[in-house]
Structure 1
Amino acid sequence: MPDYREKLWPTPWIYIVSLLLIPSSILVLAPVSMPAGIATGVILYGATVAALSVTAPVVEVADGRLRAGRASIALADTGIATGATDAAARVERGTGLDARAFLVIRGWVQPVVRVPITDPSDPTPYWLVSTRHPKELAAAINGSRRPERTEPGV
Structure 2
Amino acid sequence: MHNVAPSTPASAAYKERLSPSLWILASAAVCAPMAAIVFSPIDGTLALVVGLIVGVLIVVTLVAAAPTVAVKDGVLRVGRAHIGVDLLGAPEVLTGEEARAARGRELRRDDWHMLRGGIDGVVRVAVLDDDDPATHWVFSSRTPERVAAMITRAQRGR
- Give the shorter-chain TM-score range: 0.7 to 0.9
Structure 2 equivalent of residue 150 of structure 1: none
In the alignment, residue 17 of structure 1 is paired with which amino acid? Answer: S
Equivalent residue number for residue 80 of structure 2 = 70
RMSD of aligned alpha carbons: 1.9
| Mapped contact 1:3–1:144 kept (Cα < 8 A) | no
1:89 maps to 99
Return the match for 2:14 from 4, 27, 31.
4
What is residue 152 of structure 1 aligned with on the other side?
none
- For 1:151, the equivalent position in structure 2 comes to none
| Aligned counterpart for 2:113 among listed residues 86, 103, 107 | 103
Q: Which moved more, 1:39-48 or 1:91-100?
A: 39-48
CA offset at residue 58 of structure 1?
A: 1.7
Moved more, 34-43 or 100-109: 34-43
Query: In structure 1, what is the Cα distance between the partners aligned to 2:53 and 2:13?
Result: 38
1:23 match: secondary structure: helix
Structure 1 residues not aligned, in runs of 5+: 148-154
- Identify which range, 50-59 or 8-17, moves more after superposition: 8-17
Aligned to 2:131: 121
Structure 1 length-normalised TM: 0.84
Q: For the residues of structure 2 that align with 1:48 and 1:68, how far apart are their CA atoms?
A: 23
CA distance in 2, matches of 1:45, 1:104: 26
What's 2:59 paired with? 49
Of 99-108 and 59-68, deviating more is 99-108
Give the counterpart letter for 1:94 in structure 2: G
| Correspondence for 1:23 | 33
2 CA distance for matches of 1:28 and 1:68?
A: 39
Letter in 2 for 1:22: A
TM-score by length of 2: 0.82
Deviation at 1:36, TM superposition (A): 4.0
SS of residue paired to 1:135:
helix
Question: Which ranges of structure 2 fall in alignment gaps of 5 or more residues?
Answer: 1-10
Task: Report the identity percentage.
Answer: 33
